[in-house]
Amino acid sequence: MRIALTVNGRPVEAEVAPRTNLADFLREHLLLTGTHVGCEHGICGACTVEIGGEIARSCITYAVACDGAQVRSIESFDDDAIMARLRKASLRSTPCSAATARPAC
């Protein structure tokens, strides 16, 4: 199925299988690997993105459901001062885990 959406301010068009979740689409098709799949149930938050200004879990959202949407992944926050402070604090306080959006130690 062909979809067109805006990801991090950039227009994107792609052919995706109807059952492809948004997390896999971001990681595999667009190589935006900041979005992680931890629990695959939307509980852990590692796959959190913004869709149309609302927080969503990309591991339980089909990419085709985002046709025409504005999607914002963690990569779009690279220059955000508050996010930089949160990342720094998280790196100091969060243990390594498969259920976090951090690489394994």
Identify the weakest region by mean pLDDT among 14-18, 30-34, 83-87, 96-100.
96-100
Q: Residue 75, SS3? A: helix
The Cα 57–Cα 103 span in angstroms is 19
pLDDT digits (tens, 9 = 90+) for 63-84: 999 999 999 999 998 888 887 8
CATH of the domain at 58: 3.10.20.30
User: Would you state the structure tokens that stand for residue 59, as one six-digit string?
Assistant: 């591991």
Q: In what order do the strands lie in the sheet with 54-57?
A: 10-15, 2-7, 70-72, 48-51, 54-57
pLDDT digits (tens, 9 = 90+) for 25-67: 999 999 999 898 888 888 888 899 999 999 999 999 999 999 9
- Position 102 in a domain: no
Number of domains composing the chain? 1
* Domain membership of residue 7 as a residue range: 2-76
What pTM, to 2 d.p., does this model score?
Answer: 0.78
- Position 39 in a domain: yes
